Structure 1
Amino acid sequence: MSFVLMLVAGISLLLMMIQTCADVILDNLFGAPIEGNLEVISAYHMVLVVFLPLAYVELRHEHINADLLVRLMPHRAQRTIYVLGCLVSCFFFGILTWQTMLDAVDSYRINEVIMGSVYVTIWPAKLSLPLGFAAIFLAILYNMWRAVSEVDFDPSPETPDVDIV
């Protein structure tokens, strides 16, 4: 599921690039930019690009962490700190999932729009927040389970296979 969400975010990024290029070309060649381009990009594409890949990044252990001191500790202490961090993160993302779902339902109920050069309905984009937060919540639970159950669990990201010339 995390890969599918990341793929949707990647497609949204590609569409954002195409839409921006088309807007610049249409504006410069014909003096007719795409109406509501900024609103659609900021309300839809950027939201999808930011929130949907969260779980994929978590499963790959590629979120930013400051673990310099933790790496100096014994392996058992590292795992304990990791599990405690997972518990705090689950609490945090659980609250975010719940609240953003309430906000998305309210937005749908009132058919929320943003004003710009055109009106843009934003409730569909607001659904991506609880979806992304729920996905990272599940990814953190999965990583926490692995940290507890697998003796050789290491939350470090994989080293990329890149040859530097």
Structure 2
Amino acid sequence: MILRLIRHIAMLLAALALISLFLMMLQTVVDVLADNLFGRPIPGNLEIISVYHMVLVVFLPLAFVEQKHENISVDLVYRSLPDGPRRWILVMGYLVTAAFLGLLAWQTWADAVRAYQLKEMMMGAVYVTIWPAKLALPIGFSAAILMVLANAYQAATDPAFDPSPASPEEADT
């Protein structure tokens, strides 16, 4: 039940990132057309893309990437170990990862709150309020923590748990 909820959260955040990616592409095309056809680009386009869209695209899908086991990992020694130690090293790795993500979530939350209190803005072609985009970081990190802890639980309790990403053939089905 809880794992299913965490997976839904991961999917929702990934979907929001995908929407942001689509909007970024659409905004860029409209900006180029407006500049080339009418000589009037969208004011603040670069700032909006870099402050909002790119941040959402990078940080919101962190839990989805973890769910799919697509994070970069080096497992040369890990794969040569027997199953028992391998499982507990995997669990410990997940717990260390969760602790690190927790620090990131805590610090980025503090930064987002401070930015909100200051009503932080970015000066460019136009003024862009940036504090709302800063919320994407602690949200993304927190969702990733939930997925990492779910993976740790599965690794500890399910002997058949495999942290390997799906092969391209399996991903298509």
TM-score normalised according to structure 2 size: 0.91
Q: CA offset at residue 150 of structure 1? A: 0.6
Q: Tell which deviates more after alignment, 73-82 or 14-23.
A: 73-82
- Equivalent residue of 2:32, what SS? helix
- Equivalent position to 2:135, from 127, 130, 144: 127
How far apart are the structure 1 equivalents of 2:84 and 2:47?
A: 49
- Structure 1 residues not aligned, in runs of 5+: none
| Aligned partner (choices 68, 76, 79) of residue 71 of structure 1 | 79
Structure 2: distance between partners of 1:107 and 1:101? 10
Amino acid at match of 2:143: A
- Residues 84-135 of structure 1 deviation map (CA, whole Å, 9 limit, x = unaligned): 1111111110011111111111111111000000000011100010000000
80-89 vs 5-14, greater mean Cα deviation: 80-89
Counterpart CA distance in 2 for 1:36 and 1:134 is: 30
Q: Which amino acid aligns with 1:149?
A: T
Offset, 1:138: 0.6
1:17 is aligned to 25
Give the TM-score normalised by structure 1.
Answer: 0.95
Determine the structure 2 residue equivalent to 1:55: 63
Give secondary structure in 1 for the equivalent of 2:169.
Answer: coil
The gaps in structure 2 that reach 5 residues or longer are 1-8
Q: 1:113 aligns with which of 116, 121, 131?
A: 121
Paired residue secondary structure (2:40): coil
Q: Is the counterpart of residue 81 in structure 1 residue 89 in structure 2?
A: yes
Q: Partner letter of residue 20 of structure 1?
A: T
Structure 1 window deviating more from structure 2 (77-86 vs 27-36): it is: 77-86
Q: Secondary structure at the match of 1:161?
A: helix
Q: Which amino acid aligns with 2:27?
A: Q
Q: How many residues align?
A: 162
Q: SS at 1:117's partner residue?
A: coil
Q: Shift of residue 69 of structure 1?
A: 2.1
* Aligned partner (choices 160, 163, 167) of residue 155 of structure 1: 163
Aligned to 2:46: 38
Q: Which residue of 2 aligns with 1:90?
A: 98
SS at match of 2:128: strand
The structure that is helix-richer by fraction is 2
12-21 vs 65-74, which moves further: 65-74
Counterpart residue identity of residue 38, structure 2: F
Taking the aligned partners of 1:52 and 1:129, their CA distance within structure 2 comes to 7
> How large is the Cα RMSD of the aligned pairs?
1.0
The percent of aligned pairs where both chains have the same amino acid is 56
Question: After the TM superposition, which segments of 4 or more aligned residues of structure 1 sit over 4 Å from their partners?
Answer: none
Q: CA deviation at 1:70?
A: 1.2
Provide the C-alpha distance between the structure 2 equivalents of 1:26 and 1:76, rounded to a whole number of angstroms: 61
